[in-house]
Chains A and B, each alone.
Chain A
Amino acid sequence: MVQHTNLRACQEGIIFEVIDQEIVVISLATGVYFSLKSPASLVFALLESGCPQHELVSRLELLFDTKLDAHSNEIESFVGSLVAESIMESCSSDQCGSFDLATIESLVVRPFQAPVIEKFDDMQDLFLLDPVHPIAQESARNAEDQISR
């Protein structure tokens, strides 16, 4: 992995949250959501907290206390997927976000496995729907006449 750039979560239309050892990412622009389980969540957290791409494998090796040479291509490919899916974007080192150390350590699940993105599009219709609950326009006066039981 030779890239010396930093990455951060896309600033427009992406929200994410840590849930247990998983990071759920929602794209508000498309309605697609992603599940990043460990170590994908850990890679995301390290990048988001300012770890440059070229230091990623060594940081993971420290956290997993094992050599990860055999996984470097998988990790690089995964990082490429984060960018390709518009989850992360390039930034300068002072533009990254932050994760506290305890959270990062909580995302370490041994043994190390190839990081993957799980992508879900089953809720897209909810994001694209307008109005939210479609229903024919009716007068408020009509609604007032509704029976209550």
Chain B
Amino acid sequence: MTLGTDKGVSSMRRVESLYQEVVEVFHRTVKHGVSACMRLSAANRRVDILSVNPEQSGSYLKALQHLVVEEESAERRSADLTILLMDSATTGVQMPDIDLLKTPREEPRKAFQSTDGRILASLEGEQAALNIANLNENVALLWLPSFETVPGYQLATPFRTIFNWLFCDGGYQLIHAAAVGFDEGGVLLSGKSGSGKTVASLACLQYGARFLGDDFVIIGPATTGGGIVAYSIYSSARLHREMMGSFGLSEAALIDDKALFFLYPEFSSQLSSELPIRSVFLPNRKDAGSTCTRIPTVNLIREVLVPTVAYLPGRESVVLKNLTTLLSNTPFSSIDLGGDPKKIPDVLRRAVAGSRS
């Protein structure tokens, strides 16, 4: 997003200096603490996460634990991406002036960028967590008010904005979709919140299918065959109150209107890091059976790309380009999953088998 107003020009300069400022604060702070935290392997990239407080930030990073890799120092290669994680409560340092990043509540969320577009910054949530990234250095920083007051949606999908900025170069793309896998192949389930992605993916998990994510996964080009591959990024799931009984969940898991729970380590054997995708489905639950209807490409892309762009502020034109490129050759259908979660895996499995023929 190019900002042409006086305030916009000021913001562009401010984003550059803000990046320098917050990274300096991080490094100054970790002199008095431990910074080494963990290394992830996600979508063929090594991501190092350095925290000012590894003990407390563990809760924030829980949805990423399934991606942690242990590497001997001899074989350890340098990270492709580095994310610095800090909070004000631990460091006692308040965020620098971020007023220029604030937008009126009635305006859409914005990501501001530097003059060359390679440094991005945005505020997230009512607590105004600061996301900032330097794409030239592949370094990003997330500054939270406190590790102890993180909203549930951020715990379910940590670093979502930053991951999107860092991963979308090179044709990889975070997408608002669930992904599960059967012997017949992997499927993406895409649609607005409430369309049934989480119910379907958890039903498949209970059935014994492989699970990559219930809300966001990364997709990228397959090395052969021209298809796409889905990569897991989060092992969390959030489920509406009324569906908890279907999965034997107790009220103890409830946070407000949704339950947040983590599938690692209990379901480790079913968490896949990547799967080739055979088909994309737009689920609905009309209780009409298991109809599976091919729909025009443009319908799917419109229903997938618009929500994905909406959920991921910043680099929107790259996101749009990546999605249209990656999804253009993937078969997709709307699918009626019916009202009984137990029947969903079989419906999906048969549909993906049918999509291959």
Contact = CB atoms under 8 A, between A and B. Distances in A.
A142 B255 contact: yes
A143 B302 contact: no
B227 to A, nearest CB: 18
Contacts of B296: 20
A76 to B, nearest CB: 27
Contact of A17 (B154, B259, B321): B321
A33 to B, nearest CB: 6
A126 B301 contact: no
Contacts of B328: 19
B23 interface: no
Nearest to B8: A12
Interface string B1-30: 111100000000000000000000000000
Interface stretch (A51-59, A100-108, A133-141): A133-141
A22 to B, nearest CB: 5
B60 A148 contact: no
A148 B236 CA distance: 9
A126 B304 CA distance: 12
Interface string B240-258: 0000000111101101111
Contacts of B124: 130-131
Categorize the interface residue count of chain A: 35 or more
Contacts, number: 156
B316 A28 contact: yes
A12 B1 contact: yes
A115 B281 CA distance: 31
B287 to A, nearest CB: 23
B260 A19 contact: no
B145 to A, nearest CB: 10
Contacts of B297: 19-20
A28 B149 CA distance: 29
Contacts of A12: 1-4
Contact of B306 (A20, A123, A143, A147): A123
A35 interface: yes
B255 A138 contact: yes
Given A140-B147, A140-B150, A140-B155, A24 B302 contact: yes
Interface of B: 1-4, 56, 58-60, 62, 105-109, 124-127, 147-156, 192-193, 238, 247-250, 252-253, 255-263, 266-267, 296-298, 301-302, 305-307, 309-311, 316-317, 320-321, 324, 328
27 contacts: A11-B2, A11-B4, A13-B1, A15-B309, A17-B321, A19-B328, A24-B298, A26-B306, A31-B108, A126-B192, A126-B306, A126-B311, A129-B310, A130-B105, A130-B126, A133-B238, A137-B127, A138-B152, A138-B255, A139-B150, A140-B60, A141-B148, A143-B155, A144-B58, A148-B261, A148-B262, A148-B263
